[in-house]
Structure 1
Amino acid sequence: MEQAPLARPRSDVSSAVGLVGLAGLFAWVVFARAFPSIAEAFDWAVPHDTLGGQNSALVGLLAAALPMAAWSILVDKVHLRPSTGLDWSLMNSRRPDRSVTWVKLAGLWATWAIIAGLYCLCRWYWQGQYVFSMQVLGYAALPLVVLSVPYVFWIDRALVNPRDHAWHFGALLLMRPGWELDEVKKHWRAWIIKAFFTAFMISIIPFAFRHIVTADFAEVMARPERIALTVIEAMFMIDVMIGTVGYIVTMRPLDAHIRSGNPLLGGWIAALICYPPAVWGILGNGKAIFYEEDTAGWLHWLEGHDLAIALWGALLVALTAIYAWATFAFGLRFSNLTYRGVLTNGPYRFTRHPAYVSKNLFWWASVMPFLVTTGSLVEAIRNCFFLAVVNGIYFWRAKTEEAHLLAEDPKYREYHAWMAQHGLITAPLTRMWHRFRPRPAIEIQPAE
């Protein structure tokens, strides 16, 4: 009997949220690039340079975040959704228990202090690109502590269950009755994810932002490879800036809070392998699964063939655009290893993992591991094998993420089933699997 077609579940994030964030970011980039002309026109007594510095990159985060937050509240009205855990009518109908609020604040402040201590202990946070992250987080620490008091006092008035994960950790520390170990674990899974990835994302935003703001477009337009590389840098900037906003803005009134961190150990291992410091030892100096030995990249092999460079560059741009689209489609909710609602639109209407698919295809097309400058067939085989291993790690990540979301939300289970029927990649693979998998033996009942 043929299975009835399923309807694609409605996305928890509207398509417009990411687009207005993208518009805000582009508006700031245009202003930063045009600043010398603007300063000259208004005769401002400031250096007439493009605003490509680190502080300008931070303003770029605000330029992306504020429109997304405004659209989410004013148009999508996400603050009224039950998934926020908030009931605004409670502000007028009940008297909040401030002892609960203070226990929660104690848990929150203790969490931040422990994270700060971990930052201090881990040496990689105090060298290279991470120094900028530590400076930003150091300056933000005192304002966060101060502002957390009015915010938590305010939000507790509307919380359906004020005894959230932070309260359970605070109650554990203060030896108050009622705390639960599972809730404490959920609290720390969320905060470790937020602390680890926020520091990483902040560390790379200045580089991504500066490349676009300071680019000489006249020089860029002179060669097809320069056009391709600059557009790829722009897509990378979009991914980094919107992704960083997602890690920072985890707030219940925006329905962007972390509902749960991935509880699967395999999911954590698969994800953390792909980021510093683990990636430095595996793909960097350690070269355990290094796939770029004696490679020269696509420009080397296509040198002197402008049409081929233009076509191959267009392919790489398209793959990077899908990758960036997969990030800004999340709006305020992008982050690894977390469940923050279900996204079913944008590139996620075609495949469950558009970022992973496009990223891995990009590596094959840009590195060309099957071509090596030494002409060694053995080295080419090694490179292809190890890039295939990296592809396998991302497949592992994808499966652990699916397992997490399948356990959390019936809407994701509907989406997962819909993709099996309609996904650009998933549906053909599902049909192939059903065609070739062993059929169960038919049990013959004995005649009576």
Structure 2
Amino acid sequence: MSSASTPAKHLPASDVSAGVGWTGLAALLVWLMVCRNWALVADHLALPGPHAPMSGPYAAVATLFVTGTAMALWSIFVDKVHLRPSTGIDWKLGRSSAESLDLSITKLAGLWTTWALIGAFYCIGRWYWDGQYLFAMEILGSAALPLFLLSIPYVLWLDRKLIEPRDQAWHFGALLMGREAWDAEAVKKHGRAWAIKAFFGAFMISILPGGFAQVVEADFAASLHDPVALGSILIALLFLIDVQIGTVGYIFTFRPLDAHIRSGNPLLAGWVAALMCYPPFVWGTMGRADVLGYEVNTAGWAYWLSGYPALLWVWAGLMVFLTAVYAWATFAFGLRFSNLTYRGVLTNGPYRFTRHPAYLSKNLFWWTSTLPFLVTSHALTDMVRNTVLLGVVSGIYYWRARTEEAHLLAEDAKYRAYHAWMAQNAPITRGLSKLGSRLRPRVPEPQAAE
């Protein structure tokens, strides 16, 4: 669908307020300060246990709930998202427990079977039992029983208030139980949504501990006069913000918060483009020189600029800025961040300037930090390979962006209006669109018959 077909005079209102993301960021930073200064806190309160910074992996997981709870409270008490029609909830609805019990049983059958299938997938996937994924499996394994038990009162309660309790999970349960008619498209949507949560949720949890420990244990004071050290710490902090709030988005997918997944991307191209960017499908962007490895014999920006102190400061500032935009693009989603999903339309924050600020800033960061065309081997082949392969990675992200747009354009008229407004008014998007139109070959107009 062309954006030109739906001209927009005004930028549509965002489904996510700026306040929820900034609240999550503030809560995260406060909690990080508590973790960094836990020795002083424990001394002052005479608490038992080690009096040292809380930098362990379980502290990283606890941070998710501190941040997520803060955003949830803002969403309910300030944004009042639980009252929005998009939740599908009518709080005045008085459906009896007896009336909704059969619906809830069917839905729970669908949910529990889904979780069992996810567990089987984790068991079969060998990569989940090695390296950083071991921590994710430990956390998810510990959460399995509480999740199973808490799902019962949650579903029983929510089904009494849902306008249409026969949601996607119910349709999957109906398929399994074979007692009532079920909708195949709803079952597909249910499967896609939980496949996204299972795949990306485990990945996000797996990368929590490393960055968290690095930031909590970092010596900021000792780095103030070193652009490389200070830049590295600030970049680590910003990536931590991205990972922490992004992981919250995969966990807090609750209807009362209006953060539920409306649909997962139904396009095969969208899944291929997204999965190519994550292990185990490809490791090129994760530091290993495999199919898309673009860092062979590269030394990075600090090495090549080491003799130019002023330029080091400028370059470090540029990379911190790009990472800050990337982190902003994540926490601007509030509770709704996740890949391959439609969970409402976001039009504020960095999405006011470009439709894909995260992809744009991330790829610019890779180019400026890696400098793939400068290699320590001085081999032309390494220079060409690295540059071409990073170009391929950037191309994959462009493809990924287009598939996401195709999904959202088909789902929501508000996104179609946003897409059209951005093409005409957003400075970065408008500029890139003009550049693309100049690079594309012109199709000659048909000649009129004489």
Provide the residue aligned with 2:422 in structure 1.
Answer: 419
Structure 1 equivalent of residue 139 of structure 2: 136
Q: Which residue of 1 aligns with 2:67?
A: 64
1:145 matched to which residue of 2? 148
Q: Which of 354, 359, 364 is matched with 1:356 structurally?
A: 359
Q: Distance in 2 between matches of 1:204 and 1:282?
A: 14
Aligned counterparts of 2:230 and 2:218: Cα–Cα separation in 1: 11
Choose the corresponding residue for 1:195, options 198, 213, 218.
198
Distance in 2 of aligned mates of 1:410 and 1:4: 12
Cα drift, residue 433 of structure 1: 5.2
Task: Supply the distance in 2 between the matched residues of 1:422 and 1:344 (Cα, whole angstroms).
Answer: 13
The aligned residue for residue 163 of structure 1 is 166
Counterparts in 2 of 1:209 and 1:364: CA distance versus 1, 3 Å: same
Q: Which residue of the partner structure matches residue 314 of structure 2?
A: 311
* 3-state SS of paired residue (2:209): helix
1:174 counterpart = 2:180? no
Which position in structure 1 is the counterpart of 2:11? 8
Structure 1, residues 344-373: CA drift from partner, whole Å, max 9, x if none? Answer: 000000000000000000000000001011
- How far apart are residue 57 of structure 1 and its match? 0.9
Q: Report how many aligned residue pairs link the two structures.
A: 444
Q: Distance in 2 between matches of 1:181 and 1:45?
A: 55
Q: How many Å apart are 1:308 and its aligned residue?
A: 1.1
- Preserved contact between residue 282 and residue 288 of structure 1 (Cα < 8 Å): no
Bigger shift: residues 395-404 or 207-216: 207-216
Aligned equivalent of 2:3:
none
Find out whether 1:107 has 2:110 as its counterpart.
Answer: yes
Q: Distance in 1 between matches of 2:278 and 2:293?
A: 14
User: 1:425: Cα distance to partner?
Assistant: 2.2
| 1:372 matched to 2:375 | yes
Letter in 2 for 1:441: E
Cα distance in 1 for residues equivalent to 2:391 and 2:140: 37
| Aligned sequence identity (%) | 57
Residue 135 (structure 1) shift: 0.8
Match of 2:227 among 217, 221, 224: 224
Q: Aligned-residue CA RMSD in angstroms?
A: 1.9
Tell me the amino acid that sits aligned with residue 76 of structure 1.
D
Mapping for residues 290-305 of structure 1, pairs under 5 Å: 290-305=293-308
SS of match in other structure, 1:441: coil
Determine which of 119, 130, 134 is the counterpart of 1:116.
119
1:290, 1:383 within 8 Å by CA — same for their partners in 2? yes
8 Å CA contact 1:169–1:187 kept in 2: the answer is yes
Give, in angstroms, the shift of residue 284 of structure 1: 6.0
Cα distance in 2 between the residues matched to 1:393 and 1:432? 19
Question: Aligned residue for 2:253?
Answer: 250
Local SS of the residue matching 1:128: coil
Match of 2:442 in 1: 438
2:298–2:371: 8 Å Cα contact kept in structure 1? yes
1:409 paired residue number:
412
1:22 aligns with 2:22: no
Question: 1:96·1:156 contact (CA, 8 Å) conserved in 2?
Answer: no
The farther-off stretch of 407-416 and 180-189 is 180-189
Q: Relative to structure 1, is the Cα distance of residues 285 and 320 closer, same or farther in structure 2, using a 3 angstrom cutoff?
A: closer
Closer, same or farther: CA 5–284 of 1 in aligned 2, 3 Å: closer
- How big is the shift at 1:39? 1.8
Q: What is the CA deviation profile of residues 158-193 of structure 1, one whole-angstrom value per residue up to 9, with x for unaligned ones?
A: 111111111111111111221122111111000000
Q: Structure 2 unaligned runs (5+)?
A: 1-5
Distance 1:363 1:58, change over 3 A: same
Q: Which consecutive unaligned segments of at least 5 residues does structure 1 have? A: none
8 Å CA contact 1:283, 1:289 repeated in 2 = no
Deviation per CA, 1:202-232, whole angstroms, max 9, x where unpaired?
1111111111111122222241111100000
Alignment-derived partner of residue 279 in structure 1: 282
Partner of 1:45: 48
Deviations along 1:231-259, one digit per CA (max 9) or x if unpaired, are 00000000000000000010000000000
Are the structure 2 counterparts of residues 73 and 283 from structure 1 closer, same or farther at C-alpha, using a change threshold of 3 Å? closer
Between the aligned partners of 2:396 and 2:246, the Cα distance in structure 1 is 21
Q: CA deviation at 1:41?
A: 2.5
Q: Distance in 2 between matches of 1:176 and 1:155?
A: 22
